[in-house]
Amino acid sequence: MVFKVSRRRFLQSASLAALSLPLAKVVSAKDGFTPSPLEAKGSLAEETVTGGICEMCFWRCQIIGKKREGRLIKLEGNPKSIDNGTSICARGNAGIKLLYDPDRLKYPLKNVGERGKPVWKKISWQEALDECGTKLKAVVDKYGPQGIAVFPHGATAKYPMHYFERTVGTPNVSEASFFQCRGIRDTAYMATTGKAPGEEVDMPNAKAILLLGSHFGENIHVSHIKAYIKGLQNGAKLIVVDPRYSASAAKSDIWVKIKPGTDTAFLLAIMNYLVQQKKYDKAFIEEYASGFAEFQTGISSWTFEKAAAECDIPAAQIKEVADLLASQAPHVSIHPGRHVSWYGNDFQRERALACLTALLGAYYVKGGWVPGKSPKVGDVSWAKKEPDPTHNLNHKGEDKLVYPYTPPGTPTELIRDAALTGKPYPIKGCVIWGQNPIQTIPGQEKMKAVFKQMDFVMCVDVMPTDATMWADILLPEVSYLERYDLIKTGTQWNFAEKHQQYIAARMPLVDPTFECRDHVYITNEIAKRMGHEQEIPVKTVEELVEKSLKVANLSLAQLKKEDGIHILEGKDPYGVPDDFEVLLYNEDIEAAGFPGVPTYLSVAPPPAGYARLIYGRVPVHTFNRSQNNVWLHNAMPDNPVWINDETAAKMQLKDGDKVGFINSEGFKSRTTTTVKVTPGIRKDAVYMAHGYGSANPLLSVAAGSGVDDQSLITLIAVDPETGAHGMRNNFVKLIKDDKILDIPA
């Protein structure tokens, strides 16, 4: 399916949307947006503005803007950047269409209809803030601070999150970036090495790179991809383990077409072979690892043949991977991944990756896992008060936790269960800030039920989303191109070159539009109304940034003089610290009731007639948050479902056929998408990009485009050590011409 739209047709469609949805106003000069540069009269002189940091995804590339007559017309990578350089991705380029999106939230809105089916009324900031402050204070007065739940996401969510968490005192904070993304990775590595891994692998200097389900080339985190590509250009061998022939697999030397959910078995067989054949780094293990004897015993049953049967791949291929890794050690990048919340057995897989890195001696060496030494800046926020431990839903008495290796915050499922049952206490107030819990958390109907039973729901965002439909008050936030914000620090990815560090603070490239406000203003005004005015740490977002920069002896004025980026001499990141230790066997994990050695936990196979639904990224979208961007939508308007070619032939499906879905619990997709027939997917799985199929009618471009895969993820699987969700445990059949089609075994 190809979406082609002229500018005239786009404005006409926006006008039609405005007629049916008065709040989705058409962009015009009188509304605050200047005409298109294509229509601008007079001077065509351009102005370059520096200090921008992209937020079309979380990677935050440093950017500059080109302006004409006050209007931003182009975004580019900052030439001074030692991170992304002059490169930005398609999404970064399309940030202009977020800034000037006619469907942007422009004014405070009050829902005078019902949640989920809102009828929006424009109100003043005074009225909106009064209602938010009054209603949230009423929840605290009646139920205590634990009566509020907070769902934050993004750079601007940190300040308000800390207000509710530290000053108000709610423990019920759930970030999607932890509980539906990277939290399992971080806590598993911390339980193994004492450090959260980030994505800090020295790929430019690697001789081999191992990726498990990492969609490089499709996630497009620019500096990371540049490091990855440089490693391949330098001759690194690439091993990709994925049920799908991803962009990474297309560049691989070895593609392991693994059965979904069995990655840990694959890793255990490799590690057992390295140990048994004495192909591991004995000197590194003796000096920096503990628990080797228990570890050796714990993995000893995992032969290549056993893993091959479990993973549905050739035993010879597992051996090939093991030998390749051993031959290139220690200069091997074992990537920890990022979005790792897959099957509900993920803590053990991440532990296995950390242990495999140790066996290869690939910590703090060229080509291995090497944390860059970033400069320090301040962290100004709300003063932290001692919370009541009995209010923590993860607390089960006697200093024990339900999920002892949970990421920061409270597991989402514990919050939802408490809200719906009222036990151990009611949760009746909700703050959603930059997160879309409808399309990030499994079990949409359960999430909707949580919102329905709330006394008050407040939402802050730049765009309308499926989650904003459930707000009582909806507040418009300035976009990343219109605000000051948190500071980004880092090091040069290619450690083989000159060691450098950088400090960059996000600065606005244009003035704020309409009645949008920044996160510090909104949070402070609510804090005043909730009785916390004396505890406000900063009065403005500029003051927040200035105080953070002061720790590094910098100021906004100095950064502006330096084109938004302060570069300083770096430090050599190589060499294992004296206090570094890898726990191959962790007795604390075992004492908590879980395997102390990485252990394979099997997952249920697809029922007859169904295939497992897996999902991922595409280069031109950041999940749902970019779906309404007309430039990006034009590039990929829906999310075709990948079906194995032999399976498709048996089902009489061909490329371009329109299909819907029904999952094993009977939930049907609201919309349809197109079929992509390919040999690059296993027969027991289907794949599509995440974030499509928005239900919010205020999104004149994205609403109903493609299929919302999250609506089909209704089986709730929770990782037993962390409490984080598994996201790939549902099974689907296809629907074509109103007929449900079984998927052949």
Domain shared by 622 and 586, yes or no: no
Distances (CA, A) of 527 to 155, 367, 617: 19, 48, 38
Domain shared by 355 and 398, yes or no: no
Share of the chain above pLDDT 70, in %: 93
Residues 6+ apart with CB under 8 A from 35: 29, 71
pLDDT attached to residue 389: 84
Domain shared by 382 and 276, yes or no: no
Domain shared by 227 and 344, yes or no: yes
Decide if 490 is inside a domain.
no
Domain shared by 328 and 283, yes or no: yes
Partnered with residue 677 across adjacent β-strands are: 643
The CATH number covering residue 669 comes to 2.40.40.20
Decide if 18 is inside a domain.
no
Decide if 77 is inside a domain.
no
Domain shared by 680 and 646, yes or no: yes
Domain shared by 395 and 344, yes or no: no
Decide if 389 is inside a domain.
yes
Domain shared by 126 and 217, yes or no: no
Share of the chain above pLDDT 90, in %: 88
Domain shared by 386 and 522, yes or no: yes
The answer to whether 78 and 71 are in contact (CB under 8 A) is: no
Q: Could you report the per-residue pLDDT of 83-98, keeping only the tens digit for each?
A: 999 999 999 999 999 9
Domain shared by 359 and 431, yes or no: no
Decide if 221 is inside a domain.
yes
Decide if 427 is inside a domain.
yes
The answer to whether 350 and 213 are in contact (CB under 8 A) is: no
Show the CA angle centred on residue 215, arms to residues 211 and 221, nearest 5°: 110
* 501 pLDDT above the threshold of 90: yes
Q: Could you report the per-residue pLDDT of 147-163, keeping only the tens digit for each?
A: 999 999 999 999 999 99
Phi–psi pair at 335, nearest 5 degrees:
-75, 130
The strand ranges marked E within 69-179 are 71-77, 109-111, 120-122, 148-152
How many domains, in total, are found in the chain? 3
What is d(CA 463, CA 458) in angstroms, rounded to the nearest whole number?
14
Domain shared by 543 and 666, yes or no: no
pLDDT attached to residue 412: 97
Domain shared by 208 and 328, yes or no: yes
**Residues of the domain holding 381:** 109-178+377-478+510-561
* 444 pLDDT above the threshold of 50: yes
Partnered with residue 502 across adjacent β-strands are: 490, 567
pLDDT attached to residue 17: 30
Residues 6+ apart with CB under 8 A from 688: 613, 615, 639, 640, 641, 642, 673, 706, 707, 709
- The SS3 call for residue 700 is coil
Decide if 421 is inside a domain.
yes
Decide if 566 is inside a domain.
no
Residues 6+ apart with CB under 8 A from 594: 347, 720, 721
pLDDT attached to residue 33: 40
pLDDT band at 486 (very low <50, low <70, confident <90, very high): confident
* 32 pLDDT above the threshold of 60: no
What is the mean pLDDT of the segment spanning 400-416?
95
pLDDT band at 74 (very low <50, low <70, confident <90, very high): very high
The CATH number covering residue 453 comes to 3.40.50.740
